[in-house]
Structure 1
Amino acid sequence: MPFIKLEAGKIDKEKKEKLINEFTRVASDILGISEEAFIVLIKENEMDNWGTGGKLLSKVLAERGNK
């Protein structure tokens, strides 16, 4: 079974459903494999679990004015 994984920050339920649907549809079309064969995992991570430039991503985003 093909497996698709996305790691990201918090995502609301409606967006997760759309991502899973679209990832599956596009991968099925490109690979010629039935949509029913795909497994999609969305792994949500807190911004404090990521770092960039030696800083917590939550701090970097706050400095930029992002959530």
Structure 2
Amino acid sequence: MLHTGEDLTKADRYRFRSHDIGVIFQSFNLLPALTVAENIILSMDASGKTFDRPKKQIAAELIEKVRL
């Protein structure tokens, strides 16, 4: 299986999971007092990653993508 031209069977799985994808488990824990966008941004903050665009913009695009 390939992702961005990289063979995932040979990829460093930790690096791939921590930098290239996000995972939501079946029993995920959202904070009900926060909006969907705020929950997304909170997980972005917790990831420790840097983003090339404002997190609010990325969250809005993700919400639109899944039609929430």
Query: What TM-score do you get using the length of structure 1 for normalisation?
Result: 0.29
Higher relative contact order by CA 8 Å / sep ≥ 6: 1 or 2? 1
Q: Higher strand share goes to which structure? A: 1
- Which of these two proteins has the greater Rg computed from alpha carbons? 1
